[in-house]
A = this chain, B = another copy of it.
Amino acid sequence: MPFFLSEEIITMATGLKVYFCGSIRAGRGDVEIYGRIVEMLGKYGTVLTPFVADPNLTVHSAEEGKAKTDKEIYDRDMSLLEECHAIVAEVTQPSLGVGFELGRGVAMNKKILCLYRPQPEKRLSAMVRGAEKDGFFTTKDYKEEDLPAIFDDFFQNFLRRDRKDSLDWKSYEPM
């Protein structure tokens, strides 16, 4: 099974598993930036939820990845959330699903990075902005050009202590 084999090799090489959250049914207006974020996250590890950035996945798609019913989507996503080492959420488009994943992620003590593009007449939820917790929950207001530095900084948290000098993301092992 060449597909799974190669996926496993990637996971073994990169170590870290990242759960990426973005709006699906609340609106797909940011799907292109989700795609660029998922691509950047590939530098640090395996993204467990690449379907979130799939431009073919619309508000009305009958399935997400291989999950067909809402319960299958829910069960799969909660299982991936348990499995991940880090959660990265693009929170500019208000979405119940992203909020839910963040709430569950906080309860699981996951390390979480939220990314927000400030916009006139809009305001980020206090449930995100106020959840700030050193080393566990961070929200960054960003412009796209800031993302490489934001990610390098966030993923430093996952380097083993004896590897803090290393920025060779592809060869490190998560703590």
Contact for A26 among B75, B94, B103, B131, CB less than 8 A: B94
CB of A98 within 8 A of CB of B97, answer no
Query: Are A59's CB and B99's CB within 8 A?
Result: no
The B-contacting residues of A in range 117-157, CB under 8 angstroms, are 121-132
- Report chain B residues within 8 Å CB of A126: 24-25, 64, 70, 73-74, 77, 97
Q: Kindly state the separation between the CA atoms of A126 and B102 in the bound complex, as whole angstroms.
A: 15
- Count class of interface residues, chain A: 35 or more
List residues of chain B with CB within 8 A of the CB of A24. 125-126
Q: Does A72 sit within 8 A of B, measured CB to CB?
A: yes
Complex: A135 Cα to B105 Cα, angstroms: 23
A9 close to chain B: CB less than 8 A: no
20 A-B contact pairs sorted by A residue (CB < 8 Å): A25-B94, A25-B124, A70-B130, A71-B130, A73-B127, A74-B126, A74-B127, A77-B126, A94-B94, A95-B99, A96-B99, A98-B99, A99-B101, A100-B125, A100-B127, A100-B128, A103-B104, A103-B105, A103-B107, A104-B106
